[in-house]
Structure 1
């Protein structure tokens, strides 16, 4: 990670699909269904060739923040740990909402149900 970059770009450097899926698979129950659903919805929007570059940057920033090893509120704090991640994801979702397609939502909902079904919740 380049410490010379403005802070708004640092989280983008942490994003990668493998990191995202690892975080989701390990911490889905702690993060909660809404956080997981929002993250996966943004992931599908990011992968869409029709999503403009600026919107992909916003999404990568939010997903990068989610996978950061250390953030503003440590993720291990019960009841609060994923609150800042949730805020980043919701802000990104609101910012790029025009580009979120129904297919992104459908895919995300199916994957979220599969994840939580496998985890017994």
Structure 2
């Protein structure tokens, strides 16, 4: 059995809901910022953007506590040093983190408003500069409508 298949099996067996519950105790704004700074190039622009959407929805006073718990768990899982698939593995290391982030975005989608999106895009500009096309970042709501 190849390592890639093993990673795919681990990813297939990942339960995002359980991962989010486990990650809650690891969330901190400082750790989240450090993780983004250190790994933003490896994580990819879409997952960084989705992570920032979650972060700014978490900071919003309009977001209910239940949604904030989901967000804290997802971002905590991103920070978590021990993942289903370790982050240091090239190409697949952030696959489990990505799955959890995407799952969380769709769970709290109704709490991601224009202000949250604007804050996330501003932060993306600070992280990636001109190397990211802010106008064409995929909006999760638009993506959901296409399905």
Aligned pair count reads 115
Q: Which residue of 1 aligns with 2:13?
A: none
Contact persistence 2:27–2:79 (CA under 8 A): yes
1:91-110 deviations in whole A, cap 9, x for unaligned? 10000101111111111012
Q: TM-score, normalised by structure 2?
A: 0.73
Q: Which residue of 2 aligns with 1:84?
A: 96
Q: Which residue of 2 aligns with 1:20?
A: 32
Over 4 Å off, 4+ runs: none
1:6-35 deviations in whole A, cap 9, x for unaligned? 865331000000000000011111111111
Q: Which residue of 1 aligns with 2:42?
A: 30
1:57 lines up with 2:73 in the alignment: no
Q: Which residue of 2 aligns with 1:104?
A: 116
Runs of at least 5 residues in structure 1 that lack an aligned partner in the other structure = 1-5
Does the C-alpha gap of structure 1 residues 30 and 7 become closer, same or farther in structure 2, counting only changes over 3 Å?
closer
Contact persistence 2:20–2:100 (CA under 8 A): no
1:71-109 deviations in whole A, cap 9, x for unaligned? 001111111111111110111000010111111111101
Runs of at least 5 residues in structure 2 that lack an aligned partner in the other structure = 1-17, 133-147
Which of 76, 79, 84 is residue 72 of structure 1 equivalent to? 84
1:43 lines up with 2:55 in the alignment: yes
- Please give the root-mean-square deviation of Cα atoms over the aligned residues, in Å: 1.7
- Counterpart CA distance in 1 for 2:28 and 2:112 is 20
